Chain A
């Protein structure tokens, strides 16, 4: 994300600051402030990450006592395995569409809502509710919407005369993934909308007015003035949603557990399966490392894109 590197540069450029009291006493306070939480972080996050990397080169098994170093075999196996490749594909497709649908819809709604009345302000607070819901609850709601018999979606299709489209959305191999994706996009759109609404308040009215006076159409103003100004927020939205897409587990687990026939088995679900059903710690680690790499590439790319236009912000 654009956050990670920026403050670092600040800190190194101001290295000399803060030296008001004697250095030893300050260092003691640094240890007091940073020591305990950093140790917690190292023990629970940093070291396990390194351990996972190490495990990914072994054939460790949860029920077995010993493990052997197998080098890159787990990675070769994983990338050569049809099921793993399919999971990676599912996750990538999910991430790409996740980076398109919720942000676009969210921005559209945010723009529409921006100038509406007090009634809208009240409605907007109501609209925030889905983002407070757990994905398990979201999953339950949508399971009922997709229910084959009396589900809301099928009932609505029946009412508008599209009975032929009625189906068991979550059980049908051709629709299951998209059905879960829409449930997810339903919630992430609210996230995007909230952030864009906040971002829109930072767009100076004078700029918009000036562009209008110069004869730009509303759409031109939106495309050439507002959207570029929203770039920092857009980076945040895309990064958050990309990270959420890549580690998406809860919703799929609650709705389909990866089925039917692994049709919705995202990489996190695959890791869960390999670890807790097949108990193969080594392979599970390797696949989780692939997921980590995917995250770094996607977020790194987004950050690069965000910083390219960061003159707007600075």
Chain B
């Protein structure tokens, strides 16, 4: 970084000089030369004064202040973080929450500007890989060794934290995507058995629609909530192996596998199962409409339970979930969801403090507190999961019973490709009729993005 900076700055001041010299030449008078001389030193001083800050290291015992940035929004989750930080004894924690959607851009701006927080929350998978590949993170061996993450976390979650052979991300909570529903609405519609096959799902949706309630709530204003539909329709028809190929650029968005999945999606859309104007709402709007009975269910991750708990809903009585039904029995049962974790920036001012804080975050009791507050599942196997509420306990069971666990779309494929895929889902929700065009557009964009 340093080298280029100097180069750029010298170039800048050179230009100032040239510009002034040009003006002076236009004059043919030496008074302007004095102006360059007089002003030159001032500007150099300006540039230099901003140069040297940072590098203020704390003492050995107290590791000083750790700056933490995160995207966790729910009230209960925010409180849980504060509680967990309050028991951190090796230093102080300055925490700045950033709204979830804004975070995605802001953290990149902070990294690019060389002003990132010491520690920030990030999504395991392709997003972490992309910043790690750009040398923006530092390995956290100290954390994985200190808290023995290697042995205390299940292998799949350890793997989610390791990039290019080194640990970079401490898993903090993992999630499970399923149909979260309002039990009262299902009961009113006479849906007594939860759907386990695709036919069951369609039958249930018809029953619900007859009562005048929309079966599926979806708020795709910020695009990503729509991805779970694509994820599951593809996973349940073509299977996780094909999906992995699509995510890595080895398969094409114009394949029949993708066409078939979109066709199923469109059939449900045409049947009127989805709420109107999905693109006008956020995921929490969709959660609200399920909670107040305007819609029956929404395909969403377990964090929705944290949101509902914060709004005073009771698990099982007010909300519950069922697994995305089987479409093709020959295809394995894959679970899906994101993993939230913590990473340490390469430019962290206080790496020692950051490692200590992450070790604190890795402790089973803290992982449990977080899981309960946010509505997540605790990665640390030693966390006392008997304290999870019944719905979350069931979610954990489902993940454990699943044949595999996949990241959702925008964490499974590189961000540059995901940009276009997410656009495709939103365009699909706007008008699914011409989805073949969407497929070819997305494929063209994906080829280009993978090419770079």
Which A residues are within 8 Å of any B CB, using their own CB?
Answer: 24, 27-28, 30-31, 35-36, 39, 42-43, 46-47, 50-51, 62-67, 148, 167-168, 170-173, 259-262, 276-279
Q: Hey, what's the 0/1 contact readout for B5-40 against A, CB within 8 Å counting as 1?
A: 000100110011001100000000101101100110
Q: Which residues of B contact A62 (CB under 8 A)?
A: 108, 112
> Contact: B423 with A31, CB < 8 Å?
no
Q: Hey, what's the 0/1 contact readout for B248-292 against A, CB within 8 Å counting as 1?
A: 000000000000000000000000000011011100000000000
Q: Which residues of A contact B104 (CB under 8 A)?
A: 277
Give the docked Cα–Cα distance between A257 and B427 (Å): 15
> Contact: B31 with A173, CB < 8 Å?
no
State which of B11, B29, B42, B430 has its C-beta within 8 Å of the C-beta of A27: B29
Interface residues of B in 101-134 (CB under 8 A from A): 104-105, 108-109, 111-112, 131, 134
Q: Is B443 in the interface zone, CB < 8 Å from A?
A: no
State which of A28, A65, A148, A167 has its C-beta within 8 Å of the C-beta of B31: A28
Q: Is B302 in the interface zone, CB < 8 Å from A?
A: no
> Contact: A42 with B280, CB < 8 Å?
no
Q: Which residues of B contact A42 (CB under 8 A)?
A: 16, 19-20
State which of B16, B35, B277 has its C-beta within 8 Å of the C-beta of A35: B35
Q: Is B221 in the interface zone, CB < 8 Å from A?
A: yes
> Contact: A39 with B43, CB < 8 Å?
yes
Q: Is B54 in the interface zone, CB < 8 Å from A?
A: no
> Contact: B277 with A167, CB < 8 Å?
yes
Q: Is B56 in the interface zone, CB < 8 Å from A?
A: no
Instruction: Give me the 6 closest cross-chain CB pairs, A-B, nearest first.
Output: A171-B280, A27-B31, A168-B280, A62-B112, A168-B277, A171-B279
Q: Is B305 in the interface zone, CB < 8 Å from A?
A: no
Q: Which residues of B contact A27 (CB under 8 A)?
A: 29, 31-32
Chosen A-B contacts, 12 in total, with CB atoms closer than 8 Å, are A28-B31, A31-B31, A65-B1, A67-B4, A148-B277, A168-B276, A168-B280, A172-B277, A173-B430, A259-B279, A259-B426, A261-B426
> Contact: B38 with A31, CB < 8 Å?
yes
Give the docked Cα–Cα distance between A278 and B3 (Å): 23
Q: Which residues of B contact A172 (CB under 8 A)?
A: 277, 279-280, 430
State which of B8, B15, B416 has its C-beta within 8 Å of the C-beta of A50: B15
Which B residues are within 8 Å of any A CB, using their own CB?
Answer: 1, 3-4, 8, 11-12, 15-16, 19-20, 29, 31-32, 34-35, 38-39, 42-43, 104-105, 108-109, 111-112, 131, 134-136, 221, 223, 276-277, 279-281, 416, 419, 423, 426-427, 430-431
Q: Which residues of A contact B423 (CB under 8 A)?
A: 261-262
Give the docked Cα–Cα distance between A31 and B27 (Å): 13
State which of B19, B105, B279, B427 has its C-beta within 8 Å of the C-beta of A168: B279
Known A-B contacts A39-B16, A51-B15, A171-B221; the reply to A31 vs B134 at CB < 8 A is no
In the complex formed, the residue of A with least CB distance to B419 is A277
State which of B111, B223, B431 has its C-beta within 8 Å of the C-beta of A173: B431
Q: Which residues of A contact B42 (CB under 8 A)?
A: 39
Give the docked Cα–Cα distance between A24 and B4 (Å): 42
In the complex formed, the residue of A with least CB distance to B448 is A81
> Contact: A63 with B34, CB < 8 Å?
no
Q: Which residues of B contact A50 (CB under 8 A)?
A: 15
State which of B11, B111, B276, B416 has its C-beta within 8 Å of the C-beta of A63: B111
Q: How far is the CB of A47 from chain B (nearest CB, A)?
A: 5
State which of A65, A148, A259 has its C-beta within 8 Å of the C-beta of B3: A65
> Contact: B43 with A260, CB < 8 Å?
no
Q: Which residues of B contact A67 (CB under 8 A)?
A: 4
Q: Which residues of A contact B277 (CB under 8 A)?
A: 148, 167-168, 171-172
Give the docked Cα–Cα distance between A34 and B201 (Å): 75
Q: How far is the CB of A50 from chain B (nearest CB, A)?
A: 6
Known A-B contacts A42-B19, A259-B426, A261-B426; the reply to A51 vs B280 at CB < 8 A is no
In the complex formed, the residue of B with least CB distance to A83 is B445
State which of A36, A63, A170 has its C-beta within 8 Å of the C-beta of B134: A63
Q: Which residues of A contact B105 (CB under 8 A)?
A: 276-277
Give the docked Cα–Cα distance between A160 and B98 (Å): 42
Give the docked Cα–Cα distance between A36 and B8 (Å): 23
Known A-B contacts A65-B4, A173-B430; the reply to A279 vs B31 at CB < 8 A is no
A28, A65, A66, most chain B CB atoms within 10 A: A65
In the complex formed, the residue of A with least CB distance to B422 is A261
Give the docked Cα–Cα distance between A172 and B34 (Å): 61
Q: Which residues of A contact B12 (CB under 8 A)?
A: 43, 47, 51
Q: How far is the CB of B251 from chain A (nearest CB, A)?
A: 23
> Contact: A43 with B43, CB < 8 Å?
yes
In the complex formed, the residue of A with least CB distance to B279 is A171
Q: Which residues of A contact B416 (CB under 8 A)?
A: 278
Give the docked Cα–Cα distance between A64 and B135 (Å): 9
> Contact: B108 with A277, CB < 8 Å?
yes
B1, B11, B277, B423, most chain A CB atoms within 10 A: B277
> Contact: B15 with A47, CB < 8 Å?
yes
Q: Which residues of A contact B134 (CB under 8 A)?
A: 63-64
State which of A51, A260, A278 has its C-beta within 8 Å of the C-beta of B11: A51
Q: How far is the CB of B55 from chain A (nearest CB, A)?
A: 20
A30-B31, A31-B31 known; 12 new pairs, CB 8 Å cut-off, are: A31-B32, A39-B43, A43-B16, A43-B43, A63-B134, A63-B135, A168-B276, A171-B221, A171-B280, A261-B423, A262-B423, A276-B108
